Amino acid sequence: MHRPSLKKLYVEEINPRQTQVFVSGDEYVRLGIVLRAKVGEELIVLDGKGNRFLGHISGISKEGLVVELRSQLEIPIEPGPIIHLVQAILKPPAMDYVIEKSSEIGIESVYPFKANRSVSQITMDQRPRKLEHWRKISIRSFLQCERARPLVIANIFDNIWELLDNLGEPREPRIVFWEGERFRGLKACLQEMERPKRIVFAVGPEGGFERSEIEAFYSSGFVPVSLGNRLLKAETVCVAVGSILQYLYGDMG
């Protein structure tokens, strides 16, 4: 077993036959400059597929650092359902918060899309930078929260129809949160549901979903539910609902 106090290093992919990795770019700056890692120091090396190794730094230069891989470690087990979040695009600080907390809670993937009332507008030229920005947030969180793999962030979808087409036919429980729902709350919805292996929930933008969007969700197998009398900020819903699902079906508590 590894010690939690060891620094962690992220690389895109580790070949099990590799004996060392060379680190440059952002991870080199974080480890070598900000965290002042030293030659001989042990650390944990993780990749995007769940592989993790115990290693040590064998060399540091202006170009980067070299890490020798010594032994492969066990991948953390993540019981419970695979949770997917469909999130209408929010203003930048709120959307960054959603990405970070979704990673911490253990949500598998986030599907960002432009809802009718989304305030933040992301042009085609801005999309690669925005996706890379969100990806860096998810990696930073991944290195801290002991999940097996990083949060997956899907492409940015232009509208609800493009999003729903990508999701395909419903093969799992699907929930959409809507403040206009008057009869079905989250508690009742979950009580009627068998323990899911996979679940999808959708959260709207700052101004909520329009009725036409709720109808589109409904046509794709989503059940509209409310959070009772509480009106939460859009960025708070993912934390509340993700925590409830992990408490009921996953490894939280």
What pLDDT, in 10s, does the model give residues 144-172?
Answer: 888 889 999 999 999 999 999 999 998 89
Could you tell me the two tokens for 158? 């232009």
Rounded CA separation 145/142 (Å)? 6
Summary mean pLDDT of the chain: 91
DSSP tag of 73: -
Domains and CATH numbers, the chain: 7-72 (2.40.240.20), 82-249 (3.40.1280.10)
pTM of the model: 0.89
**Which of 71-75, 226-230, 234-238 tops mean pLDDT?**
234-238
Identify the sign of the CA torsion 222, 252, 187, 97. Answer: negative
Position 3 confidence tier, pLDDT thresholds 50, 70, 90: low
Per-residue pLDDT tens for 193-235? 889 999 999 999 999 999 999 999 999 999 999 998 888 999 9
User: Residue 190 has what pLDDT?
Assistant: 93
168 CB burial (10 A radius; 0-12, 13-18, 19+): exposed
117-145 exposure pattern, b = at least 16 Cβ within 10 A, e = fewer: ebeeebeeeeeeebbeebbebbbbbbbee
Length of the chain counted residue by residue: 253
The first and second tokens of residue 198, run together, are 């996979």
CA atoms within 13 A on the CB side of 197: 1
